[in-house]
């Protein structure tokens, strides 16, 4: 496919409820949307970076630079066979995986249109619906958190995940368990602890957590292996898993028993399929993580989650209205009464179209490269 033009559109979309993690308090989704024009077709990709380098080293400023000044000159007016060939073309760029993934995702959309096949079909998806879990930010008080849990349990979410940080961890979790002894409960530490906290994690073994997500450093897999050997609760690696090679090392070291794949963090869907396949070979359950995506990224996550090894655990792919009053797809992503998401397919009529008018309303800048 010949790449005729690339638009990089920066949007800002307020969150319905500000969202607190161990690293920041989000009040709006500051995001880049890439729009690739190719031979009369348009493919969209969503860059998952945040306003600053808070979750990983990239942010929207660096991604704009990499896409505009480094990637675009490589592909503009060139004939790019597809996403895999694109990734080979930009393999000279070290890191910058979120930037590469934004373009890679748009190329998957173009491939889908050119071949008349859904993304699910192209990726090798096998499931028609995927299970949804809820991820709750750090609340100011325990009663506030319990209220939130109650609300989402009533809506039927398949798993409750609580963000923790030092000082807001074990006591909070014990209270949650006291109120809800039987729910599927997980925690996400977003790398906020060290091996000095090993006794804290041993104490969590009494709480019947499905897993503890990314307790230690984002670039560590060695200390995680030490911790995993010391506790019974499975460790789920999130931030550490940025490539299939790191995933292979983590599995061989015994650093985790579960992996959360955020495809953009791994440079896109091509690399993420390799991680999926590797984990399936090693009986490592996986699930699809969220980065408070707008509808374009959210819909692609649903298609990715339809691959076979994603069947056991719930995903962080919520309905659009969990985060936003207004989204950029038609329709918005909604969940079924049984708290699942229907995977867009060639046969079931589920499709998410991009709402260009909504993007225009949210746009704060637009770079056109042609």
Catalytic residues: 163, 262
Using an 8 Å Cβ cutoff, are 184 and 158 in contact?
Answer: yes
The b/e string for 321-348 (b: 16+ C-beta within 10 A; e otherwise) is ebbbebbbbeebbebeeebbbbbbbeee
**CB 213 to Mg ion: min, Å:** 5
Which residues of the chain form contacts with Mg ion (CB under 5 A)?
188, 213, 238
Choose between 157 and 352: whose C-beta lies nearer to Mg ion: 157
Q: What angle do CA 27, 33, 35 make, to 5 degrees?
A: 165
The SS3 call for residue 325 is coil
Nearer of residues 86 and 323 to Mg ion, judged by Cβ: 323
Are 174 and 162 a contacting pair, CB within 8 Å? no
Q: Which residue is nearest to Mg ion (CB)?
A: 238
Helices 222-230 and 244-253 pack at an angle, to 10 degrees, of 40
In the bound state with Mg ion, the residue whose beta carbon lies nearer, of 38 and 135, is 135
In contact, 71 and 104? CB cutoff 8 Å:
no
Alpha-carbon Rg for the chain in angstroms:
20
3-state helix, strand, coil in the chain (%, to 5): 40, 25, 40
Buried b (16+ CB within 10 A) or exposed e, 47-59: bbbbeeeebbebb
Residues 6+ apart with CB under 8 A from 346: 116, 117, 118, 120, 121
- Between residues 52 and 82, which has the closer beta carbon with respect to Mg ion? 52
Shortest Cβ 191–Mg ion spacing (Å): 9
- Report yes or no: 64 and 100 within 8 Å, Cβ to Cβ: no
Q: Please, which residues bridge with residue 38 across strands?
A: 41
Are 185 and 152 in contact by the 8 Å Cβ rule? The answer is no
All residues at 6 or more sequence positions from 240 whose CB lies less than 8 Å from its CB, including other chains: 214, 217, 218, 219, 220, 221, 224, 246, 250, 255
Nearer to Mg ion, 55 or 352 (CB): 55
- Is 133 within 8 Å of 340 (Cβ atoms)? no
CB of 289 to Mg ion, least distance (A): 6
Nearer to Mg ion, 87 or 176 (CB): 176
Whole-number minimum distance, CB 155 to Mg ion, in Å? 21
Q: How far is the CB of 193 from Mg ion (least distance, A)?
A: 13
Nearest-approach distance from CB 54 to Mg ion, in angstroms = 13
Q: What's the closest the beta carbon of residue 362 comes to Mg ion, in angstroms?
A: 26
Q: Nearer Cβ to Mg ion, position 15 or 37?
A: 15
| C-alpha span between 295 and 293 (Å, rounded) | 6
């Amino acid at each position: 496919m010949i790449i005729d033009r690339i638009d990089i559109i920066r949007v800002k979309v307020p969150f319905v409820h500000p969202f607190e993690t161990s690293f920041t308090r989000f009040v709006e989704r500051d995001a880049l949307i890439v729009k690739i024009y190719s031979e009369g077709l348009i493919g969209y990709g969503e860059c998952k970076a945040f306003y600053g380098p808070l979750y990983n080293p990239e942010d929207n400023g660096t991604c704009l630079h990499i896409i505009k000044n480094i990637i675009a000159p490589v592909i503009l007016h060139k004939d790019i066979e597809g996403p895999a060939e694109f990734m080979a073309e930009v393999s000279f760029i070290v890191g910058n995986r979120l930037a590469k993934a934004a373009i890679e995702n748009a190329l998957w959309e173009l491939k889908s249109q050119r071949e008349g096949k859904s993304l699910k079909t192209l990726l090798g998806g096998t499931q028609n619906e995927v299970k949804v879990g809820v991820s709750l930010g750090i609340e100011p008080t325990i009663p506030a958190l319990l209220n939130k849990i109650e609300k989402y349990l009533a809506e039927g979410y398949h798993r409750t995940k609580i963000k923790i940080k030092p000082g807001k961890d074990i006591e909070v979790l014990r209270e949650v368990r006291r109120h809800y002894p039987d729910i599927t409960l997980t925690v996400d530490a977003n790398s906020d602890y060290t091996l000095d906290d090993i006794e804290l994690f041993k104490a969590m073994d009494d709480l019947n957590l499905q897993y503890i997500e990314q307790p230690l450093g984002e670039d560590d897999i060695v200390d995680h292996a030490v911790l995993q050997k010391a506790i019974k609760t499975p460790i789920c690696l999130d931030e550490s898993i940025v490539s299939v090679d790191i995933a292979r090392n983590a599995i061989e070291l015994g650093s985790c028993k579960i992996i959360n794949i955020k495809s953009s963090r791994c440079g896109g869907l091509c690399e993420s399929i390799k991680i999926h396949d590797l984990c399936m070979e090693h009986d490592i359950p996986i699930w699809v993580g969220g980065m408070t995506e707008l509808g374009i990224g959210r819909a692609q996550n649903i298609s990715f989650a339809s691959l076979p090894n994603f069947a056991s655990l719930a995903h962080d792919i919520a309905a659009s209205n969990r985060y936003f009053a207004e989204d950029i797809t038609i329709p918005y992503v909604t969940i079924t009464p049984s708290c699942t998401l229907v995977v867009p397919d060639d046969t079931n009529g589920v499709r998410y179209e991009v709402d260009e008018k909504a993007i225009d309303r949210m746009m704060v800048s637009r770079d056109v490269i042609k």
